Structure 1
Amino acid sequence: MSSLELSNVTKKFGTQETLKGIDLSLESGEFLVLLGASGCGKSTLLNLISGLLDPSSGSITLEGRVLNGTHPKDRDIAMVFQSYALYPNLTVGRNIGFGLEMRNVPKAEREKAVLDAAKVLQIDHLLDRKPSDLSGGQRQRVAIGRALVRKPKLFLFDEPLSNLDAKLRMEMRGELKRLHQMLGVTIVYVTHDQIEAMTLATRVAVMRDGHIEQLGTPEEIYNRPATTFVADFMGSPPINMFKGQHLPETRLIELELADTPIALDEAVLSACAQDIPAKVIMGIRPEAFGLEPIQGGISIDCVVEIVELTGPEKIVSLDVRGQRVIATFKPEQNFKPGDRVTLHASKDKISIFDAETGKCWA
């Protein structure tokens, strides 16, 4: 049985439909990330699961129990907010154990649970301090500890790292990953940060305009995007998109920016039930390009415009007949503006989309 099940869940605010028929099944121990831009509906979906909002239609079940109409406190769900929501006048220990205190859990049992959670989060030396004495990362650990001590069936995280600086965000990502691997808890996590999604999730639900555009593992989302939206949304630097067309009565794709048509693999053709679209878009990740020719691959002549060294890689922006193409290389590879280079990519690194629908064809 699935731990969490959403069936045809919708949410309307007046005439505005924010969520449009969400179907989602989450197994026990999964770390699901709801990923999308602001306004896509991801936080609304989280609030429906928590009980802070009621769905307009559809059902939400947790371990076989229907949650529709159930008060948030009776759902056995713990939520960690972006703002920490700590009590400033209470110590760290009392903040972590506050929920247990309100449930009249005996003091000795409560103190043991607080200490156990604090040790897991490596903040047991901070139990007597006040929130004002803590760093942002320490405050977030306290908020997580308050959720952890309850031992709920489901954890919900609403952009918990967005208030932290870049270094702290990276550290807390590692802590959350370690916590999930150690405890095997079930988590639904909302973010607009694709790095968080890729590094934390066992599965990612990419959301757009109130629906799930694609659901899959981080590897599937990145390497086999279902639509041009997902392909473009995931990845930094972003994917390169090339317009092209299918040459009639052939198995060739002609790209606007390449001189030689690309022959489609027989394996690709046999795996696709639909005919080759008349107009296509080819997506190629920046890291898929190389400088060595590839038999049967794609080749594009370019002029180097900008070279950016990030440390572990060089991001090279190139001009191809007025269109910008981005490629990444090892830092020792030398480029300078004005250099003429030919980029090569293997066909198995290319995604082909129907230009009319935006859906992946191969």
Structure 2
Amino acid sequence: MNTYLLKITTVLLLVSSCNSYDMDPAQQQMDIDMSDFFVYTETPSDLLSKTTASKTDKRSCYTMLNLNRLLDENPGLEKRMYAIEYQTRKFMASKKPSGTPGSGPPGSNQDPTPEPSIPYDGTVYIPVVVNIIEKYNNEVSDAQITSQIDILNEDFNNANSNTAGVPDVFKNLVANYNIQFRRAAVNRIVSSKNSWGTRDAMKSSKKGGIDATDPSHNLNIWVCEIGGGILGYAQFPGGPEQTDGVVIGTDYFGETTGPYGDGRTATHEIGHWLNLRHIWGDGGCSVDDFVEDTPVSNGPNYGCPGETINCGSIDMTMNYMDYVYDDCMYMFTIDQNTRSRALFASDGYRSSFVTSN
């Protein structure tokens, strides 16, 4: 654990209502252990100090740094994320009555006895609005868009052919998310801007970008040149509605070329949009990703590594939430699926996607 721990807040607020993401600390008795929950995460220099990977091997996802910025700019965001995490752990505990939903620091978990959420176990259909900001007409082809939707449907329905190569130690953990992505609309504009950065300018028509389309019922994907070697970034549940969605670099959207040309940047970023942290928990061996069946690790893996051991266990390098090449990531776990599924429960943050089906 590094200097980012100085920014981790000990949150003592309690959830006041199943359907509210604003909490009143005097309303309810705590029945879910939240002692390991944190929001602020490491800086890029902290992360890069843990690896000797070459520059060309390094996947660059800016989601956690984007989260840090949003937390600084939105005083109520930490409170909302705490409430979403509370609902998530309550849901996971109801699915696993004999266990607990996190695997944080030893001794941090209790045996909760929560009232379960009403789950939605059917297929979740997610309309996708693709917002393309390109340097010339059709820089991003229709074939790229089609391939990206197809790749998402493969990955979130356990249809990635590479999954056949899952090591035996993880074979019984592979999940089918049962999510179907549908292309709802494609919005295009041409812009001479060379790069858009990571402060959400591409999400605002006032800043030359494209406004989000009804984020409570659509997944908005912005495709543009981000700059700085960044492949993409996402917004976690709870952030500002007008910027909800994911951003993907033009060269990494759908089937293109190179080690990040198989469309898995979108899979990774949508994992964040579905409330997944990075597989290593964005910290050291004592920090977790709030998912029980993913091994603890102390940092990302790059390239196409073989068996890698950190923190006394084998890393799940092939997980979509690691940093390996596109061709070498090919699974979500059962508990990752359950964590994301909490969003679509009756009291979940993204329940509107179910009620609108």
TM-score bracket for this pair, using the shorter chain length: under 0.3
Larger-Rg structure = 1
Kindly indicate whether structure 1 or structure 2 has the higher relative contact order, using CA contacts under 8 Å at least 6 residues apart. 2
Which structure: greater strand fraction? 1
Q: TM-score, normalised by structure 2?
A: 0.25
